[in-house]
């Protein structure tokens, strides 16, 4: 579960969000939730794995499902509300294409601009100079 | 003053932040502030142009100045605190390289993955289906 495709300890952070009206149709957290649903086979299990409530996970899934031509997550028909869920074909495709977008944008960490910035970026902030000193 | 390099009305939003310890050394808002300081010739004028207080603008400048090998913003020596400010050579260079990073990452909106996502992305969310319907 990575927030972006640059290394976790990198000083370069890239966030990609896809909007649908005022709603975030896909972003780092929603993509991680889709991965967790695929691994866990249910919305409740995915929510637990990510430390969020079932209600929060369900609302994120519902928002995603309303933003795309087809729902990204399918819940099992005829069962209890929490009985199981899986990614639809559209869900698998959207997730893979979003991860590809992240990888494409993350490639800027290999370019000359980022190397130039790194050469003058401190590892930690310099102490504040008080104005009266 | 653009939040990112994709078109303002695009459904694709890319945010690039450069971290220095726990501090944001450069990001969309700080880059726009540097542009405003270069245009206005003072921190207070830049803050006004961006609808933020002098204190808020000064704190953002102070944070940036402590994150890089050299300060990005130089205030005029010997004058009053609000008398004038300009970008240092390092400030101009860091701002240009950050804008180049944004342009590089933003180029993913020309690729096949974004076109594939757009083809199944709704312009606005579908109405919520109530669970009991």
Task: Please write the tens of the pLDDT for every residue from B52-68.
Answer: 999 999 999 999 999 99
Q: Answer whether B111 sits within 8 Å of A104, measured CB to CB.
A: yes
pLDDT at B25: 98
- Residues A41-86 have pLDDT tens digits of 999 999 999 999 999 999 999 999 999 999 999 998 655 555 699 9
State the best of B122, B127, B131, B133 to mutate against chain A, taking most chain A CBs within 10 Å: B122
Give phi and psi for A50, each to the nearest 5: -100, 5
A:B CB pairs within 8 Å:
155
Q: Residue B93: its chain A contacts at CB < 8 A?
A: 116, 120
pLDDT at B96: 98
Q: Residue B14: its chain A contacts at CB < 8 A?
A: 14-16, 105
- Residues A87-133 have pLDDT tens digits of 999 999 999 999 999 999 999 999 999 999 999 999 999 987 654 33
Instruction: Report the distance separating Cα B92 and Cα B70, nearest Å.
Output: 11
Identity of the residue in A18, A23, A108 whose CB atom sits nearest the CB atom of B117? A18
ipTM: 0.84
- Domains (ranges, CATH) in chain A? 18-118 (1.10.10.10)
Nearest by Cα to A70 from A97, A93, A44: A93
Instruction: Report the distance separating Cα B81 and Cα B13, nearest Å.
Output: 37
User: Residue holding tokens 């971290």?
Assistant: B19
Q: Residue B117: its chain A contacts at CB < 8 A?
A: 18, 26, 94, 97-98, 101
Exposure string for A58-67, b = 16+ CB within 10 A, e = fewer: bebbbbbbbb
**Which tokens belong to B7?**
């078109």
Q: How open is the CA angle B62-B2-A22, to the nearest 5 degrees? A: 110
pLDDT at B1: 41
């Amino acid at each position: 579960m990575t927030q972006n495709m640059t290394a976790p300890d990198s000083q370069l952070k890239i966030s990609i969000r896809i909007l649908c009206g005022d709603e975030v149709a896909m972003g780092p957290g929603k993509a991680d939730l889709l991965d967790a649903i695929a691994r866990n086979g249910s919305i409740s299990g995915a929510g637990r794995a990510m430390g969020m409530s079932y209600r929060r996970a369900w609302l994120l899934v519902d928002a995603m499902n309303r933003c795309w031509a087809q729902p990204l997550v399918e819940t099992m028909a005829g069962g209890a509300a929490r009985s199981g869920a899986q990614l639809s074909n559209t869900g698998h495709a959207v997730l893979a294409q979003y991860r590809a977008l992240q990888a494409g944008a993350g490639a800027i960490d290999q370019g000359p601009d980022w190397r130039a910035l790194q050469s003058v970026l401190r590892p930690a902030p310099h102490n504040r100079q008080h104005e009266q000193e």
